[in-house]
Structure 1
């Protein structure tokens, strides 16, 4: 469900479930975590990309339909947390190529990246709050990326923002006009980053991670999201969601 490729000093991890807009499963998240660790030890930069019409639509919520006890959602949240930690621990820069959409869990990946490239028409946000799912797991990296005020808005308001606003907030670092240009731009950026002195880059990234406090807050964010999983509100809202899909 993912592809791991290397070209020169750049490694690319591609989410490869285009029919689901690359909706994340626990297996994909585990493969991503392993791929980031493996590539980080031997290349100068890592790109996360998505195959097909969009970067990623977030969690594959179909896995939760037959899991009323919340175990499937807990697996997804823990898997996402592990990937975010791997992105931060990776000694080389991680670039996300976020074309068209990076929703919920995918927005968390963008927030955790060192750099993110998007198109002007891309959409970002956490509409999962409408389903009783807390995006608190993303806040430890989202907050330092966009600031506390914008982090509150993005995680408490289910609305989506566009590429230009994401650039202004600091959620993405580079903006291109067309979705088709996102991948090439991300690879070009990663190639330039890979040519930087690796020891110095790794030390600087480690220090930036130290001062933003995300590692210390990570456990609390994950616990908050996990604490709602399987609760009455989430179960009821997910039930209505699936009923609406079946009726639609």
Structure 2
């Protein structure tokens, strides 16, 4: 029986690549999307073409008030399709960007980033803990910006730093259940994240490539395979770690 991974924000960008990479490792995938069901359906079809089961569920991870409903929907789906209400891996990937200098950040902007990147991660994980099988794993997605500073990213990076600390506590508290918790911190990647800023702005792209040891900006395919590896038995002894996948940015 295939193990099951749940990927939030799996309909596009890094989440899409993670979902496909997990399927290539032989895992079934449940992915969430916020609003673009068509994109989610395309990822599901791609995974099914690889011979794995895949399903999508709508979820706004910034709104904790819908988590009870999502929990019930997920439980129903698992009972129907897998015959049991359990998943093996949770990948907290969903998120949005904010580029604003400290002097201009509004309270609403800060709240929005906090809700999706920390509060949502905390309470969604809490809600799903009873569904995560003992011996499974959680991967929280952070950012290279917790190590490097780039003006305008203070709020986003601060929330990701909080997630990194939270992840160590999760690893400690979930250890008795043999649930591993790690952080994966991508460097700058060419996706549509933040309106495609890194991908489409040639000046930004070239500047980042210039301080990256491997000489280019990251691609989605550089990330998904690492997430998939962490969801295998080969990675069992990796726990409570921050793993940066950036090609050596800012060494």
Structures share a fold, TM > 0.5?
Answer: no
Task: Give the TM-score of the pair, scaled to structure 1.
Answer: 0.31
Structure (1/2) with the larger helix percentage: 1
